[in-house]
Structure 1
Amino acid sequence: MKILVIGSTGTIGKEIYKSLQQHHEVYGAHRNSSSFPVDISNKESIESLFNKLPKLDAVINASGTASWKSLSDLKEEDYYIGIKSKLMGQVNLVHVAKNHLNDYGSITLTTGILAEHYEPNAVALSLVNGAIHSYVNTASKELDRGIRLNTVAPGAISSDFPKDKKFAGYFPVDIKDVVKIYEYSLTTNNTGQILKIY
């Protein structure tokens, strides 16, 4: 398979990239890449990336950011950071990627535990994650050529977070187990799935 991993130097993305490279032709893209730079908050940047690549079988996005502030400190512009990056960045990615995928290709987005579970200062990110879940549920039904759309929703990653401390009510998860969920998303026939691991 020809697979694009966006966010290929991040905590999750770099492990996905490493694992998939063993059996597939994998392209790694990230903001500071010299070969495949991309800023998902900019649709033209996404289009420029895909124009450099061959037709793909799968796209995985493991990038996107949002504000971390308490509700009382959040201003309108703080919400727009996550809306422009993790929400519309992933929405625009779907719109662009679907035209560059082979029939029956796969798009996998990334959300997280905060779509459903509370953690202090995470209101803006929870908003975005929940919106992506709704988007995946509905947009997946309107993609043609058998293209599938799913999202992985991990908890905190144990390499980034103390193993004995809960995040949003759950202990951290092992990155190897998280990577397996992304790999499952590539091979399952299901679409519109929220693949939770926490």
Structure 2
Amino acid sequence: MRTVLVIGGTGTIGRAVAQELGQRHRVLTAGRTSGDFRVAIEDIASVRALFAAAGKVDDVVVAAGALHVGPLAEMTQSQFLVGVASKLMGQVNVALVAQHALNDGGSITLTSGVDAHNPLRGCANTVTVNNGIEGFARGAAVELQRGLRINVVNPSLLEESAARFEALFHGFETVPAARVARAYSRCVEGAENGKTYRAW
């Protein structure tokens, strides 16, 4: 049995991941306002404090991070930086700390999004950030030590979130969160490294 820390563990994806992995492993959850632990992934000191509080952990999954959605013609630098600081650098912060905090042979799983490869109107920020996450994982994979691995899950629009986000995703097939969770299971329990798994 492994100990898996799921950041964003009370969100739609995070809950499904915790349920899937909890059948076989010990799962701890963390979030800004809920979960077993509190963390603000934008703040690397907060990430360090999280790993110190959680104790010995084998694997970490990140299903958290804010983005900005809006027309490019109206976008400000501060709006663009929302996604850069939160979803991109927040997940990078977790990886930077986790590479030293995880047990040998552990894994880091990050989350991008379907628009990384299927650009949508109003999503210049999200497209940039999600591609950055996937690029970071490819680059980090060749340098991780102690048998650590890093992978990314790229989910499509969740069935559970369709009513909220469908206006952005006309024509996209939805996918149930439980199916997406199996991609995270593959990242945690599999053997590959530097991969992006598309849950579409």
With normalisation by structure 1, the TM-score equals 0.94
Q: Which residue is equivalent to 1:144?
A: 145
What amino acid is the match of 1:75?
A: T
- Residue 34 of structure 1: how far off its partner (Å): 6.8
Residues 20, 178 of structure 2: 8 Å contact kept: no
CA distance in 1, matches of 2:105, 2:127: 31
| SS state at 1:109 partner | strand
Q: Is the 8 A contact 1:114 1:168 kept in 2?
A: no
Q: Which has the higher helix share?
A: 2
What is the CA distance between 1:187 and its match in structure 2? 1.4
> CA 1:168/1:126 → structure 2, altered by over 3 Å: closer, same or farther?
farther
Give the residue type in structure 1 aligned to 2:198: K
Which AA in structure 2 matches 1:55?
Answer: K
Residues 34-183 of structure 1 correspond to what in structure 2 (within 5 A)? 35-162=36-163, 167=169, 169-183=171-185
Check the 8 A contact 1:6/1:62 in 2, yes or no: yes
Give 3-state SS (helix, strand or coil) of 1:102's partner. coil
- Pick the aligned partner of 1:197 from 183, 194, 199: 199
Aligned partners of 2:67 and 2:125 also within 8 Å: yes
Query: In structure 1, what is the Cα distance between the partners aligned to 2:92 and 2:41?
Result: 10
CA distance, structure 2, for counterparts of residue 146 and residue 34 of structure 1: 28
For structure 2, list consecutive stretches of 5 or more residues without a partner in the other structure. none
Query: Counterpart amino acid of 2:125?
Result: A
Q: Paired residues, what number?
A: 196
Residue 55 of structure 1: how far off its partner (Å): 1.6
1:99 to partner: Cα distance: 1.1
Q: Identity of paired residues, percent? A: 35
**Aligned partners of 1:134, 1:121: CA distance in 2, in Å?**
22
RMSD: 1.4
SS at match of 1:64: coil
Q: Which runs of 5+ in 1 are unaligned?
A: none
User: Kindly tell me: are residues 168 and 107 of structure 1, through their superposed partners in 2, closer, same or farther at Cα, counting changes over 3 Å?
Assistant: farther
Distance of 1:129 and 1:136 partners within structure 2: 11
Q: Is the 8 A contact 1:39 1:45 kept in 2?
A: yes
Match of 2:190 among 185, 188, 191: 188
The 5-angstrom pairing of residues 18-33 of structure 1 reads 18-33=19-34
Q: Which amino acid aligns with 1:26?
A: V
